[in-house]
Amino acid sequence: MIHIEKGVKGIGYRVMETGFERHLRPISYPMPVPNTLNPLPYSLSPIASFLPKILFYPHIMTCDAMKLSSGLVLALDVTDRSRALDVAARVAPHIDAVKVGYPLVLSCGTGIIGELAKSSYVLCDFKVADIPNTNRLIASEAFKAGAKGIICHAFPGRDSIAAVVEEAKKHGGDVLVVTEMSHPGALDFMAPKAEQMARLASDSNVSGIIAPATRPERVKALRAIVGDMLIISPGVGAQGGTASRAISAGADAIIVGRSLYEAPDPAEAASMFSSEIAEARNAFRDKGGKGS
């Protein structure tokens, strides 16, 4: 994995090749970027000319927060502190982030966020869905506890998302917006509005969206709307989704919970998922980056 590191928070570069032309393309993040940086990708083109002739997809992205390498995110939905820390340590070499939600935080307190953050990028899956002021307060507590990213819902509207984004900026954190969840019930109300919510997310200066690995055709449709924006897909494993299909449809990373923390050997399971993701990325690249 090649990382083009820049010392400006909120800036990332995607290594691309179109025909014989290689270049570095900017990726947008929540942090505002001065216009004086706009020519930067072009000034780096001599560096890009020495890169191998490959198309990296999903994104090679770099910022002070989330960095994708394996494309695997652990959903740590357990309620015991010792077990949580043990599983996180076992799978650490194979994952990019640990996603924590209400089961773990309500049982162990917000201190567990800081403990996990000592060795991992922590993404708080609080699915924040309230009025702007309440959203801001929730996001503030998550980031102060040590989180580097937070998940919010799109359906409360533009101002509610904006409140989370504004708070994330203060901490250099990421905001991911749920457009469509992975369970069957999401088809009742979320799926019919998912494209509209994806457009709202795209207009809200967030880091990325959540799209269901259980329905890869939806990942592909939402990718067409959000462009280069990060897509993370839950529902792999116990819910029936597969890493390869999600990645082939355009996801950047997958979220896996029970198939990791309930595995007899979580590290081995994580390694297998990581290998599947790598194979899917290679196949995606060989097809020219077109989702199946």
Model confidence pTM above 0.85: no
CA atoms lying within 13 Å on the CB side of residue 12: 26
Residue 119's pLDDT is what?
Answer: 95
Q: What is the pLDDT of residue 50?
A: 38
d(CA 24, CA 170): 27
Exposure string (b/e) for 1-39, b if CB count within 10 Å is 16 or more? eeebebeeebbbbbbbbeeeebbbebbbbbbeeeeeeee
Question: pLDDT tens-digit profile of 138-193?
Answer: 999 999 999 999 999 999 999 999 999 999 999 999 999 999 999 999 999 999 99
Distance in angstroms (rounded) separating the CA atoms of residues 275 and 71:
10
pLDDT tens by residue, 210-261: 999 999 999 999 999 999 999 999 999 999 999 999 999 999 999 999 999 9
Residues recognised as catalytic? 127
Report the distance separating Cα 232 and Cα 255, nearest Å.
Answer: 7
Confidence of residue 286 (pLDDT cuts 50, 70, 90): confident
pLDDT tens string 16-75: 322 222 222 333 333 333 333 333 333 333 433 334 333 333 333 333 457 899 999 999
